[in-house]
Amino acid sequence: MRWRDAPDDVVNDDTQPIIGRSIIYWEEMILRRFAGQVANPTTVGELDQMVMLAGQGVGLVNDIVPAAEVIRRYVEGVKAIIEGLNDDYLRNSNDAPITTTAAAVTIATDDECNKGCWSWLPRFRF
């Protein structure tokens, strides 16, 4: 079986309009529509016409929430993990079981955090 004749390199389509400029490897580059170049901090032009990479994580976005809600969900997830680790530890040890409850999460100021934002943590033994 033979490979079909194929070009040795791929050339940008010069018929596409210029949508921006960028510095790539210390050289100013012209960006054309559909060229596939990803915008970087030096890119100027029609950013909405350029490639924007979005990985598998995009499929995990179900809603848009304030930062405080993101933090609350994160902390709740951490608490669940720690409780799970605690359960595993107790299952694999001879220690008497202890009970744990996850306290409600509130967003605290820096001063409040210094006074014990993580006060729930000592309840868990590893």
Per-residue tens of pLDDT for the chain, all 126 residues: 666 676 666 666 788 899 999 998 899 999 998 888 888 889 999 988 888 777 777 677 788 899 999 899 998 988 888 887 777 666 666 555 444 444 444 444 555 555 555 555 555 544
In the prediction, which pLDDT does 44 show?
93
> Is the pTM of the predicted complex or chain greater than 0.75?
no
Indicate the SS3 state at residue 12. Answer: coil
Cα gap 15→18, rounded to integer Å: 9
In the prediction, which pLDDT does 116 show?
54
Cα gap 27→108, rounded to integer Å: 47
In the prediction, which pLDDT does 89 show?
64
